[in-house]
Amino acid sequence: MMKWLSTCLLLLTSLSSSAAVDIQKDTLYPQVEFDTSMGKIVVELDRTRAPLTVDNFLTYVVKGEYDNTIFHRVIAEFVVQGGGLTTKLEERPSLEPVVNESGNGLSNSLGTIAMARDNDPHSATRQFYFNLGDNKKLDPSKRRWGYTVFGEVTQGMDVLEAISLVPTEHNTTLNWPDFPVNTVMLKKATLLPR
């Protein structure tokens, strides 16, 4: 009996915690503000074209999972990537991967936000990137999956351009290239009111 009560209590707790996460399911174009160490960026997401990706991304935002992370990959005129590492270079935990929605008609063009992933097309979890150029080679083709674009920058393009120009190096701890010499923080990501 006690085991059954514990199981019920655990189930109710998990249901109430997931119900408490308001990702504005009824908003087709939600907006998120990124407060970075170099200024603010606002993006408008497109739930009509990438509903699974937007819901996934907003779950991380609303739970505060992007707060105090770093931008760990910066390539001028290409991408600024972040969302997965702490300042101690530790990977943040991820939810289940999201289904690739790259065939949604949105292109990896200048000023858009998209999901980073591994070689597996359906491996995107929490890391995202901003396109700092027209990166059509990241779009899907008849022979390959692309990278899912799910929104665009509406404010702060100058901030992104400044981030894209910071000096970078090969990080020996992670064995990653294009790592900023000085930390560029994502202090807080906020889902803006409707």
pLDDT tens readout for residues 16-39: 444 468 999 999 999 999 999 999
pLDDT digit string (tens) for 54-82?
A: 999 999 999 999 999 999 999 999 999 99
Q: Are 129 and 73 in contact (CB under 8 A)?
A: yes
Share of the chain above pLDDT 90, in %: 89
Q: What is the pTM of this model?
A: 0.89
pLDDT digit string (tens) for 100-158?
A: 999 999 999 999 999 999 999 999 999 999 999 999 999 999 999 999 999 999 999 99
Residue 1 has pLDDT above 80, yes or no: no
